[in-house]
Amino acid sequence: GQNPWGSFDPKMTVISFRDEGGKNVANMIHYGAHGTAAGKNHEISRDWSVLMTDTLEKQTGAITAFFIGPEGDVGPRISNGKTTGDISYVKELGNVAAMDAVNIYNTILAYHDAELRVSHKNLRIPLKKRVSLEEAVLTAEQYKGQTVNIKGMIRAQMERVICSYEQGYVDADAREVGQTLISLGDAVFASFPYELFSEVGMRINKAFKNKTVLSLSNTNGSEGYFVTQDSLCRGGYEVNMFLYGHVQSFFDDADFYLMRETVDHINGLK
């Protein structure tokens, strides 16, 4: 639901491209929020971003694409007081986003050539040891028959842990998370195969004075939520997805390692 005191990144970014003749040929919009304004509908929809991208495309005459930023803990704050609604809320929220995107586009005063760089690296994020076989068996029995939501998730993880002992799995020290960077001038797109919590993206961007780091959620993979350490005590769906998604869980301060590894990767672009 809505969390008015929660962390979120208020910044939207618009990048525009022109050809050598000065004609606008493409636009990119970056922002971090779930597309769930129509979350209670069965129809397929681009949700609130549809009006934003289509309006900027119409205003500029250039194809426009939306790139979603860290949205793991950010839902659209729609007027029903929730973060999900029906299709009617798409127009309500989409028009606000469209005005923002067009206003940002209109602040672009000059265009310049931009150097393009691409880099790929495996980030190493430390892992806890598995729970013991005895604990896994007891917990799996406790949640026997549970198939959905958090309880089903815990049961499924315990069964994977039991299977790992049967198959002779050896605990790993870290999980390698593939990351692609695309640097375009002073903007850097950084991929994450997670629904990244907003604070992680903001803190990575804060580490650079002369670059804008645009973190991307669910990019080159979709492996559940990646939360901040301070959120673990609050629990809930996202936190439990983070804790029980794999045979070995990440350390509680995994956000620190993900940020440090990403900053090092970006610095390597020099």
Residue-level pLDDT at 158: 96
DSSP code of 129? P
| 51 exposure class (CB count in 10 Å sphere: 0-12, 13-18, 19+) | buried
Residue-level pLDDT at 156: 94
Phi, psi of 73 (to 5 degrees): -120, 25
Residue-level pLDDT at 71: 96
Q: Residue 37's CB: how many other CB atoms inside 10 A?
A: 31
Residue-level pLDDT at 149: 87
The SS3 assignment for 231 reads helix
Residue-level pLDDT at 1: 82
CA–CA gap between residue 80 and residue 181 (Å, rounded): 38
Residue-level pLDDT at 108: 95
CA–CA gap between residue 162 and residue 153 (Å, rounded): 14
Per-residue tokens: 71: 């949205």
Q: Beta strands of 153-222 (E only): which ranges?
A: 174-184, 187-191, 195-196, 212-216
How would you write the pLDDT of the chain (270 residues) with one tens digit per residue?
Answer: 888 888 899 999 999 999 999 999 999 999 999 999 999 888 888 999 999 999 999 999 999 999 999 999 999 999 999 999 999 999 999 999 999 999 999 999 989 999 999 999 999 999 999 999 999 999 999 999 999 888 999 999 999 999 999 999 999 999 999 999 999 999 999 999 999 999 999 999 999 999 999 999 999 998 999 999 999 999 998 999 999 989 999 999 999 999 999 999 999 987
